[in-house]
């Protein structure tokens, strides 16, 4: 059996595309020898000072602070593995159930994940922002600031080497061996020196199957 390796996905719970990618990665774990760690980036941090953005999007970024702060609070209290659990709980309520983000929803998501619902108070606290920015910086530094989420850090073609990239943006999330084949292909192109971009126009929105 091949030795298992590790990969890290940086997410903001607000992003529906990152949510789909995260569900794909859970499938990848089942068919490839890779363990995925989930860590936080922040669309609110990424877009600070970008006044040219549409007013509606800027308003949504104000709401996005809450969930990422909660994820950091969870990581600090329970450890890294719990971030996966709170992401799944938040994503289910935000993207599948279309629930309004706020104190009640955050407390319910924490309860779903078996975590202290009092951590919902972190949403309105700046006490976690230094750690949040550090996590964001660690995720975005290798890929730059002209991309968003998902960002993945994965094993490179040379042992001990890591490659980082934005994406893949895919919907719906591939299942089973199809998920594994996409992982193989993503690693192949990401590990090619000088490879930067492969893109086509999206014709459908995120599908949460």
* Distance of alpha carbon 151 from alpha carbon 148, whole angstroms: 7
State pLDDT tens for residues 87-125. 999 999 999 999 999 999 999 999 999 999 999 999 999
Query: What pLDDT shows up at residue 1?
Result: 62
CA 201, 186, 161: angle at the middle one, nearest 5? 135
State pLDDT tens for residues 7-21. 999 999 999 999 999
Query: What pLDDT shows up at residue 115?
Result: 98
* Distance of alpha carbon 18 from alpha carbon 24, whole angstroms: 10
State pLDDT tens for residues 28-86. 999 999 999 999 999 999 999 888 999 999 999 999 999 999 999 999 999 999 999 99
Q: In what order do the strands lie in the sheet with 34-40?
A: 34-40, 5-11, 151-155, 162-166
């Amino acid at each position: 059996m091949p030795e298992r390796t590790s990969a890290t996905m940086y997410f903001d719970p607000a992003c529906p595309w990152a949510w789909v990618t995260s569900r794909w990665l859970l499938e990848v774990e089942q068919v490839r020898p890779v363990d995925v760690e989930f860590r936080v980036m922040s669309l609110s941090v990424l877009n600070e000072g970008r006044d040219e953005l549409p007013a509606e999007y800027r308003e949504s970024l104000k709401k996005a602070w809450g969930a990422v702060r909660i994820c950091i609070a969870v990581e600090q209290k329970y450890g890294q593995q719990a971030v996966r659990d709170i992401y799944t709980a938040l994503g289910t309520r935000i993207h599948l159930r279309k629930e309004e983000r706020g104190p009640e929803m955050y407390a319910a998501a924490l309860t779903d994940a078996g975590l202290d619902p009092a951590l919902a108070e972190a949403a309105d606290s700046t006490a976690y922002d230094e750690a949040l920015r550090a996590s964001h910086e660690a995720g975005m530094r290798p890929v730059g600031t002209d991309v968003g989420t998902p960002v993945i850090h994965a094993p490179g073609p040379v042992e001990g080497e890591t490659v980082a990239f934005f994406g893949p943006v895919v919907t719906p999330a591939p299942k089973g061996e199809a998920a594994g084949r996409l992982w193989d292909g993503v690693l192949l192109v990401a590990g090619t020196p000088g490879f930067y971009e492969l893109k086509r126009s999206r014709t459908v929105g995120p599908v949460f199957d």
